[in-house]
Structure 1
Amino acid sequence: MAAVRWLNHHPRLLVLLGLACLAAVGGALVAQHVYGVKPCPWCILQRALFIVISAVCLLGGGLALLLRSPVRELAVRLVAVPLVLLSVSGLVAATYQHEVAAQSESCAMGAADRIIQFFDLEERFPAVFMITANCNEAGAYRLLGLPYEIWSGLLFALCLAIGLAWMLKRPTK
């Protein structure tokens, strides 16, 4: 019963989730620029996904806070669709980084590199999206004993669970 109750506060939860994703990117930037943790292409791709998820959540949550039920519920359900798709993409990226890319010496010109180059992220925002390590090097960094991509995957899994819960929740009457 309590698990269903928190879903009723969806606009605030959307905003909170958006802020959590921004905090994850902020933490990664602090780790990079203050503590010398070098990101690989898959790390950068996950940052970009967290920024997009954050934008979706903050815009959707802000809009939903302005609306009344049942339109509010519809707005949250609409936000849940891109949230689920982006979360699955992030979970795939984190899993691939951990299981495949971190085991190889070079991950250059892989899918993550191509996506980053397609959107020209390194050139436009180098302080946030500059690739400075290969996946093997990036896989060696730990936070509280776990690789960064595991933490990232956990946050993507949380986003996915919340998005699915909103998509599958029965409408209130």
Structure 2
Amino acid sequence: MRALTASRVLAFSALVSLAAVAAALVAQYQFNVKPCPWCVMQRGIFLLIAGVSLLGWVLHRVGAVRVLTLLLSGALGVAGLFAAGYQHEVASKLASCDMTFADRVLTMFKLEDRIPSVFMVTANCSEASAYTLLGLPYEIWSGALFTLIALLCLLTLKRGAVHRR
């Protein structure tokens, strides 16, 4: 088995994050799975992880950048896990998720206006909770990917793999 290195973990985190957003877009546009504010917020977190991880992967020779990008990607993974958990445990049971934290963030950054094909909210949270993939709600899959990313980044830091390329 290949050694767990910072550059491999960062590349994996970026690819998995981009794949998650691509899968969400395919589900939305090919299978009419309508996203709620929390769904869309998780897309944004995945895109942030991808950006941070790609930066770390490109600049992996700089030790401080490796450490910082692993920390940021891991922290974003934890934030994404909280978003997925909140969507599953709280928001999915609300009649409306208007003006929840996710809705306010999307509004503050004007993401629906800037990139509507990715960030347009077309469902409320209770409607979105009805969509499943292989019997599990989409936010469970999202939460599992966020957990994997966070664990890999934090384990890489713990094992000292940041000193290896």
Normalised by the length of structure 1, the TM-score is: 0.89
Deviation at 1:166, TM superposition (A): 2.3
Aligned match for 1:91, one of 63, 81, 95: 81
Give me the whole-angstrom Cα distance separating, in 1, the residues matched to 2:27 and 2:91. 21
Secondary structure of residue in 1 paired with 2:147: helix
Q: Percent identity?
A: 50
Partner of 1:164 in structure 2?
154
Aligned match for 1:59, one of 49, 55, 60: 55
Secondary structure of residue in 1 paired with 2:59: helix
Q: Is the 8 A contact 1:31 1:37 kept in 2?
A: yes
Secondary structure of residue in 1 paired with 2:31: coil
Point out 4+ residue stretches in structure 1 off by more than 3 angstroms: 170-173
Secondary structure of residue in 2 paired with 1:153: helix
For 2:157, the aligned partner's letter is M
Q: Flag structure 2 segments of 5+ consecutive residues without an equivalent.
A: none
Give me the whole-angstrom Cα distance separating, in 1, the residues matched to 2:39 and 2:136. 15
User: Within the alignment, does 1:6 sit opposite 2:18 as a pair?
Assistant: no
Partner of 1:44 in structure 2?
40
Q: Is the 8 A contact 2:77 2:150 kept in 1?
A: yes
For 1:83, the aligned partner's letter is S
Partner of 2:72 in structure 1?
82
Deviation at 1:149, TM superposition (A): 0.1
Secondary structure of residue in 1 paired with 2:33: coil
Q: Is the 8 A contact 1:76 1:166 kept in 2?
A: no
Normalised by the length of structure 2, the TM-score is: 0.93
Q: Count how many residue pairs are aligned between Structure 1 and Structure 2.
A: 163
Q: Is the 8 A contact 2:56 2:70 kept in 1?
A: no
Q: Which has the higher contact order (CA 8 A, sep 6+)?
A: 2
Q: Flag structure 1 segments of 5+ consecutive residues without an equivalent.
A: none
Deviation at 1:16, TM superposition (A): 2.1
- Which structure's CA Rg is the greater one? 1
Partner of 2:96 in structure 1?
106
Aligned match for 1:154, one of 144, 147, 150: 144
